[in-house]
Amino acid sequence: MKTSTLLLLTFACVASARAEVKLPAIISDHMVVQTDASVPIWGWAEPGEEVTVSFAAQSKTAKANADGKWMVKLDQVKTSDQPQTLSVKGKNTLTVKDVLAGEVWLGSGQSNMALNVAAVNHSAEEIAAAKFPALRMFIVRKQSGLQPLQWRRPAGFAFAHR
């Protein structure tokens, strides 16, 4: 009797953990969405679950497919240095805070791009003089695999920002 109860509780915990709406790591507090472009927001939920994304006075809804994946495309947003909130609601609600709309640039391929300011001469002065409150940086940890990887947001993860 105890074994069946334990199995039932384990199954209930696993089922409820899967049912939560989840976002990829790049959709996080302090992020920047591309201005003047359709903005994709995606994640995972229970198959068939309806997910609603709200941002910048608009709301879009999608249904998770059989694999639990969903995506909405927000309409174009205007450039703004005023922080906004992005809300993702399914069976649970996620709130992404301090979201700006502006230019998004991706850089990769050069080893010197990993050099941070703290490693250069006169770094303390350079850092003290920097006044870029809207500059945000997303750094992807190095990871390899034999199959394509889906990097989900670890607990407590956030964009680097000043």
pLDDT band at 161 (very low <50, low <70, confident <90, very high): very low
- Residue 30 near residue 161, CB atoms below 8 Å: yes
What is the model's pTM?
0.73
Taking the CA atoms of residue 141, residue 80, residue 87 and residue 150 in that order, the dihedral angle to the nearest 10 degrees is -20
pLDDT bin (cut points 50, 70, 90) of residue 106 is confident
List, in sequence order, every residue forming a beta bridge with 88; answer none if it has no partner. 53, 94
**pLDDT value of position 142:** 72
At the topology level, CATH places domain 21-140 in Immunoglobulin-like (2.60.40)
Region 78-89 average pLDDT:
95
